[in-house]
Amino acid sequence: MPASNQSKAARRSNEKRVRMLISCPDQPGIVAAVSRFLHEHGANIVQSDQYTMNPEGGMFFIRIEFDLNDPDRRLESLQLDFEEVVAQKFRMEWTIHRASVKKRLAVFVSKEDHCLLELLWQWQAGDLDADIAMVISNHPDLKDRVEPFGIPFHHVPVTAATKEEAERRQKELIGDDVDAIVLARYMQILSPKFCEQFPNKVINIHHSFLPAFVGGKPYAQAYNRGVKIIGATAHYVTEELDGGPIIEQDVQRVSHRDDVDSLKRIGRHIERIVLARAVSWHVEDRILVHNNKTVVFS
C-alpha cells in the first residue's frame, strides 16, 4: 500500500479507536462483563492489558482499546449504558477517551532547555501524540527557542512576593482547554492550592532517583554522598514536595571521578528521556493512579 494510503488508513482507524481505563475492587467476572458489554454494543477489542494488585481482596486495573464505528453518534450512549450496566455493579472508577482527540499540554520551564527541547522535537516529529498549547516560563530566556516551533511563549515572572498573582495569571493562560501541565525543569514549587486544581494532571521531572535526594540541588547531594548511580524521576505533583505518584525512572552509573558538573551533564540526558516517556504515556492514557502509586500499561 502506498505511504499516502497507509496514512489515510491509519487516520480512519484512529477515528474509531477508543481507550478505556478502569480500576475497581478485584472480584470474579470483571473482564467477562466488560468484554460482553463491548461486544453487545458493536465494539471490537483490539488490545487489553490488566493487573491485579494484592490478588486477595485487592484492586483490579485494566486498559482496553477498542474500535467503535461512528463514535460521534454512538459513544455517548455507550458511556451512559456502561455506567448503569457494568460500572455501578463492580464499583468502578473509569474513564474513556477517543484516540483521535489529542490532549493539550502546557509546558512550564525556567532557564534550562533540555527537557523542553526533547518534548518539542518529539512533538514536531509526530512521536508525541499531543498538542503543545503553550510554554509558560518564569524567565524570558527560552522565548527564542520556542517561537520557531509556532508555539505561544508566555513570560510570567515569579517571586516570593508575587507567587499568588503569578499562579493566577498561569491559570488564566491555561484556562479550561489544557489537559495536562508538564514541569520541564520548572524551578518553582507550586502552591497546594494550584496542585489541588489539577490532580494527577501535573507531571514533574525531578533530577534524582526518588525517594533519594528530595528537594533542591540533588546532584550536589548525590556527589556529597558519593553515589555510584544517579537517576531521574517523573512523577505527578502533589502537595508533598517530590512525593507524588511515580510514573517513570531511569539511572546511569557514575564514578568517583565525576564531579557535580559531570553529574549534571550525565543527568540531563536521563531527565529528558524519562520526562518524555512519562508525558507520552500520560497522553496515550496508559496510567492509572491508586493512592500514591501508578499502574503503567505498556
Rounded Cα gap, residues 22 and 3, in angstroms: 36
Residue 222 contacts residue 230 (beta carbons within 8 Å): yes
Closest-CA residue to 111 (of 172, 168, 188, 182): 188
Q: Cβ(216)–Cβ(148) under 8 Å? A: no
Across 124-276, the runs of DSSP E, i.e. the strands, are 130-137, 153-155, 180-183, 202-206, 229-236, 246-253
Annotation says 242 is catalytic: yes
Per the DSSP assignment, residues forming a β-bridge with 230 are 252
Please measure the distance between the N-terminal and C-terminal CA atoms of the chain and give it in whole angstroms.
Answer: 28
- Cis-peptide, bond into residue 211, ω within 30° of zero: yes
How far apart CA 122 and CA 131 sit, in angstroms, is: 11
**Residues 67, 113, 242, 258: which is the catalytic one?**
242
Cell numbers that stand for 58 in this block: 485487592
- What residues are labeled active site? 242
